[in-house]
Amino acid sequence: MKTPMRKTGNLFRKNQSVLAASLLLASLYSCKKGVLEPTTEILSNNTLTNTVSASSIAPLLYQENADGTSVFGTYVKKQTLTTYGVTASTTKFYNGTKSARFELRDTDPEVQSGSRAEISFPDATNLNRWYAYALYAPADQYKIDADDDVISQWHQGGGATPALCLRVKNDRIYLRVLGTWIDLGVFEKDKWRAYVMHVNHSAGSDGLIELWRDGVKILNRSGANMYSITGDYHAPNWKLGIYKSDWNGTGTTASTVRVLYFDDIKLGNEFATYNDMVPVPNDNLLTKPTDSTSTTTPPVTAAQSVVSFKLINAATEKEVLTITNGQTISLNALKLSKVNISAVTSASDVGSVKFQLSGKQSKTYTDDKAPFALHGDSGSGNFYYGNWAPPALGIYTLKATPYTSDGANGTAGTSQTITFTIVK
């Protein structure tokens, strides 16, 4: 009988010590940034947890605005091998007097088998998390590139592309969720934009992503947003900065340098709120959310868009290349006689895509089933070619618009238009 009593007393005293230490750390938060705060992961004993209210637990696990003597402490890891990869800038800042500057060049040495200048946070110990930062992209050092950059990702290992990440491509910003690209609009440059993101990381239907930009909710998405934690897959760890896979090895793209500035970076626990997280500019004007509690599905224009066009050899049913705006297509060089063009969409649940072709030959066609193609297809990989056997030589303009329903009905998403020239 004595042994159980002794153990209970020791456990109670231990819980008192943990509680005192946790509350002390919480009270010190306002004096120091960039520190790990106490949360329910520390308060793991049921008896102790029941005696602590959520309001007594600091909502921020980490905060950094680069105003200290050094940028980023021991809690995060810098992933760069250059002196300029991750630095503090005194020329651009959202609040305080400095910001964190990330620079990546196509000639930089790889870090962890990739071209990156990032910071990496520890694996999440609770899957309900908040993320926030102010972001600035200088137009002269972040030029348009058709090959995407990852600027924020939640990595789980397993040798797979992160299930959740923010990417910039062709001067548009996308949220990629388990392979689905969600168009979030134009990636504006030479101005600060404030982002707040709330994620209930889950491989099931209870997953949630809420995203605000400059106080306006631009996304509210329910459903799976991570891989199941099994085998080589661990809980998500947040990575922030610049990662460009097309520069891996000896790869090159249209750009040679990428520079981004981040300020007021925050990581919040499950007790955080929008107002805890929102980056605050130097004028101290709090950007209030216009929709902090709504569960309404976001506008389709943010979720559905045409992101690219693929040139199809309809004789072999194979993709030949991605057509870029202004491109010249040589039929002889590509050995093409029967031709089609497919539209790649950002979402998998698009109802239909309307094609409008003008130029040497004109055509308007709506395809109700993926893969969406200018001349249609069987729906099982057999592309038709219509009167393009071969197409007439000349200049063409092609516009494709996604819709939520068949027959170009419902709500229209974001269209894309390209001009190209077909020669022998």
Percent of the chain with pLDDT over 90: 70
H helix runs in 143-271, sequence order: none
Give the model's pLDDT for residue 34: 41
Give the model's pLDDT for residue 304: 83
Give the model's pLDDT for residue 73: 81
Give the model's pLDDT for residue 17: 47
Residue 63 has pLDDT above 70, yes or no: yes
Percent of the chain with pLDDT over 70: 81
Point out the least confidently predicted range of 172-176, 179-183, 368-372: 368-372
Residue 377 is classified by DSSP as B
For 107-113, what is the mean pLDDT?
Answer: 95
pLDDT in tens, 279-309: 989 875 444 555 533 433 333 334 588 999 9
Give the model's pLDDT for residue 290: 57
pLDDT in tens, 224-264: 999 999 999 999 999 999 999 999 999 999 999 999 999 99
Give the model's pLDDT for residue 380: 65
Residue 208 has pLDDT above 50, yes or no: yes
For 58-81, what is the mean pLDDT?
Answer: 91
Give the model's pLDDT for residue 378: 81
> Of 21 and 217, which is predicted with more confidence?
217
Point out the least confidently predicted range of 56-65, 90-99, 165-174, 246-255: 56-65
Residue 217 has pLDDT above 60, yes or no: yes
Compute the mean pLDDT over every residue in the chain, rounded to the nearest whole number. 84
Confidence of residue 349 (pLDDT cuts 50, 70, 90): confident
Confidence of residue 382 (pLDDT cuts 50, 70, 90): confident
Q: Which pTM value belongs to this model?
A: 0.59
